[in-house]
Amino acid sequence: MALKAVGFDIDGTLYPDFRVRWRSLPFLLTHFRTILAFSRTRHLMRENHSDMAFDGDIGDLEVKYLAGERGCSLEEARDLRDRILYKGWEVYFRGMKIYPDVRESLEKLKDAGLKLAVLSDFPVGRKLEYFGLDGIFDVILGFPDSGRLKPRPEPFVAMAKGLETDPKEILYIGNRLDYDVRGAENIGMRGALIGPPGRKAPSDVTKFSDYRHMAGSILSEVVK
Ligand SMILES: [Mg+2]
């Protein structure tokens, strides 16, 4: 089937992970216990499929798990999540260098008539603005609006719906095989990895070494 749209993960995909960890080191140290509890929260949410299949507000479930892991009330957990984990982290993305050639490559895809999306397991907030990527994407979807965490089908289904495109005509690109590539493939999308050449990919998975490579490869397929 012809390719009509391309979706991207944000963290570790538009920029190298280590860069934000390095920049936010003082923040990570100050909020160490909360960040650790949040990391366990996310792990539990992914592990506990029956909870992930529940039909309440997924953001509330995140708060519930975080309260349990952090040993605090639901109100405190919600405040920690919103103020520190969601909002507090965001400032460290301001002025951060993303991977080379991202904007130019995305513009080339757009010029070729492809729709573009971002889909993230975190709120998108002002990240795209800080990355100089505002105005590029047709669909911007982050947690909790995405409904569930990747690799569950709901976020990918929601992205396809926003793009008004059949999942089979969408390629989703990320930095994680398990969440991004396999998640996309599970609903019939194509998935691909992007990242430094040293990072290996299984033989059945497309891997782009950088954004120029990605755009060139996609354009050779869609521009005939
Ligand atoms: Mg990622």
Q: How confident is the model at residue 48 (pLDDT cuts 50, 70, 90)?
A: confident
- Averaged pLDDT of the chain: 93
CA 16–ligand 1 middle distance (angstroms) = 9
Q: Which residue range forms the structural domain that includes residue 44? A: 19-93
- Going by pLDDT thresholds of 50, 70 and 90, the confidence category of residue 200 is confident
Q: Angle, to 10 degrees, between the axis of helix 32-47 and the axis of helix 58-70?
A: 130
Would you state the structure tokens that stand for residue 98, as one six-digit string? 């993303």
Structural domain count, the chain: 2
CA 94 centroid distance within chain: 18
Distance 199 CA to ligand 1 centre (A): 14
Helix (H) / strand (E) containing 23 = helix 17-23
Does 136 lie in the same domain as 89? no
Gap from CA of 75 to ligand 1 centroid (Å): 29
Query: Is the confidence at residue 51, as pLDDT, over 60?
Result: no
**Do 110 and 183 share a domain, yes or no?**
yes
In the chain, the percentage of residues whose pLDDT exceeds 90 is 82
Give the pLDDT of residue 197.
Answer: 78
Shared-domain flag, residues 61 and 138 = no
How many angstroms separate the alpha carbon of residue 176 from the centre of ligand 1?
6
- Number of neighbouring beta carbons within 10 Å of residue 74: 13
Query: Is the predicted pLDDT of residue 131 greater than 90, yes or no?
Result: yes
The answer to whether residues 166 and 183 belong to one domain is: yes
pLDDT higher than threshold 80 for residue 210: yes
- Split at pLDDT 50, 70, 90, the class of 31 is very high
Ligand 1: distance of its center to the CA of 29 in Å? 22
Sheet holding 190-194, edge to edge: 139-142, 115-120, 5-8, 170-174, 190-194, 206-208
Statement to judge: residues 118 and 184 lie in one domain: yes
Measured on CA atoms in the order 94, 99, 104, 105, is the torsion positive or negative? negative
